[in-house]
Structure 1
Amino acid sequence: MFTGLIQGLGTISLTSASQLKVHCPNCQFLKAVEIGDSIAVNGICLTVETYDAQSFTVTVSPETLSRSNLKNIAQTQAPVNLEPALRVGDKVGGHFVSGHVDGVGTLTQVEDSEASWELSFQAPKSVAAYIVPKGSIAINGISLTVANCDPSGSVFTVAVIPHTYQATNLKDLSLGSPVNLEADLLGKYAAKFLQPHRDTEPPNSNYGHDLITLEFLAEHGYG
């Protein structure tokens, strides 16, 4: 489990079809790393197999490479965001991030304001369903808040403070860059729990489909 608070930047290289080497000579967390530890690499939970003072290696499955931007990044040598897994007693400053990417989106717009950067992204359908205004989203492993989105969630914007922009690989993105997206874990569970009700309600029922209103809640025993 992670929180989406990036603790270092690195670069990756494919040492074989299924193994990555992550180079991060300035990452302080490597001093405490152990074989078997989980580290999020651009938001993907991977397991440390070997390590030294400046790098570590992980094995990636074909599924991981096909559902993420790692292969593209390995070819371009672009920086990746790194975060070690939570330990007991650590602060939870972002939101709960599992390290399981739901899909790859693309950067569509960047606006620079005095206090922040506003970045807009296009999300695939597999992620868009869980994107709501003021909800949480992990972009390349970074915990961010959705500032606004279209009704479907397929186009959304986040506001990024200067510290986050400079400390992550967001500053290295260009228009069209692919990004790993992980929807809010709690939102996915909520949708899962509602699915049986959707499946058993009559076709003309509004349960679980339209906006929840005060009248809807009263009708179903709330308030």
Structure 2
Amino acid sequence: MFTGIVEEMGEIVSLETRDDMVLWDGSTGERTELKVRGSVVMDGAYLGCSICVSGVCLTATALNPESNVFAVGLAPETLRKTNLGTLAPGSAVNLERASEIGGRNSGHFVQGHVDGTGTIVDKWIDEDSLFIKVEVPPSLLKYIVPKGFIAIDGTSLTVCEVDYVSNYFTFMLIEYTQKKIVVPLKEVGEQLNLEVDVLGKYAESALAAVTPRIDELEKEVTELKEIIKKLAK
């Protein structure tokens, strides 16, 4: 679990597909490996630990303390759901270590399980704030609400405006945050990793379980009303 409070901006060292991954049965297969440089997140890092890379919870598979570089594997699902597979060496990424139990959470509960990507369609300045407009698929937008939480490239942010007709939402970055994360460096047309608030998905799941029963009860009530009307004649 993460907080969405980015600890540092790291740098992509390399992104390559290799065919020497040792599988569970001892055979070898193909894998995509990402190497990232970051000094803060290497403090206390260990093999198998979780590090959030631009919103994606990844497992450290190799550590090089001398160069402050760690390696992670990118599964096919990760490549489909995120923008990590499009990043070139030298690209900046947001980094955060997993949160400690009992520690402060100045953001919100971020799982590092990216739901999909959005596309920047506009940016503008409002005094010292930077506003960004993001286009997203309706399948994701339904979970995004005004003043609700959202993780954007792993950063815990507050939604400003939502337009469910034009399929976009906006958010803003204060002057301090602009200097600490990668989002301001991105231009119109670039992608952002999005993780919607998991509470919205749980609420939908819970409602889906009771909706059929509610529909059935409404049908029964309607039938009873018709019976009563006939008896009253």
Provide the TM-score with structure 2 as the length reference.
0.81
Where in structure 1 are there 5+ consecutive unaligned residues?
A: 206-223
Q: How does 1:116-127 map to 2 (within 5 A)?
A: 116-127=129-140
Instruction: Tell me how far apart the structure 2 counterparts of residues 163 and 83 of structure 1 sit (CA, whole Å).
Output: 17
Where in structure 2 are there 5+ consecutive unaligned residues?
A: 18-30, 219-233
Name the structure with the higher strand share: 2
Partner of residue 198, structure 1? 211
Structure 1 residue 77, shift from structure 2 partner: 3.7
Structure 1 residue 23, shift from structure 2 partner: 1.6
Larger mean CA deviation between 127-136 and 75-84 belongs to 75-84
Structure 1 residue 191, shift from structure 2 partner: 1.1
Partner of residue 7, structure 1? 7
1:23 correspondence with 2:34: no
Structure 1 residue 152, shift from structure 2 partner: 5.4
The C-alpha deviation readout for 1:95-116, integer Å capped at 9, x for no partner, is 1010011011001111112131
Provide the TM-score with structure 1 as the length reference.
0.85
The C-alpha deviation readout for 1:153-179, integer Å capped at 9, x for no partner, is 831010111111110001210001111
RMSD of the TM alignment (CA)? Answer: 1.7
Which one-letter code corresponds to 1:15 in the other structure? E
Instruction: Tell me how far apart the structure 2 counterparts of residues 153 and 4 of structure 1 sit (CA, whole Å).
Output: 27
Higher-Rg structure is 2
Equivalent position to 2:159, from 146, 149, 162:
146
Which one-letter code corresponds to 2:46 in the other structure? E
Q: Is the 8 A contact 1:134 1:146 kept in 2?
A: yes
Instruction: Tell me how far apart the structure 1 counterparts of residues 45 and 130 of structure 2 sit (CA, whole Å).
Output: 33
Q: Is the 8 A contact 2:6 2:181 kept in 1?
A: yes
Which one-letter code corresponds to 1:4 in the other structure? G
Instruction: Tell me how far apart the structure 2 counterparts of residues 105 and 79 of structure 1 sit (CA, whole Å).
Output: 18
Structure 1 residue 11, shift from structure 2 partner: 2.1
Q: How does 1:72-151 map to 2 (within 5 A)?
A: 72-73=86-87, 75=88, 77-151=90-164
1:43 correspondence with 2:44: no
Instruction: Tell me how far apart the structure 1 counterparts of residues 89 and 194 of structure 2 sit (CA, whole Å).
Output: 19
Partner of residue 70, structure 2? 56
Q: How many pairs does the alignment contain?
A: 201
1:33 correspondence with 2:45: yes
Which one-letter code corresponds to 1:198 in the other structure? T
Paired residue secondary structure (1:29): coil
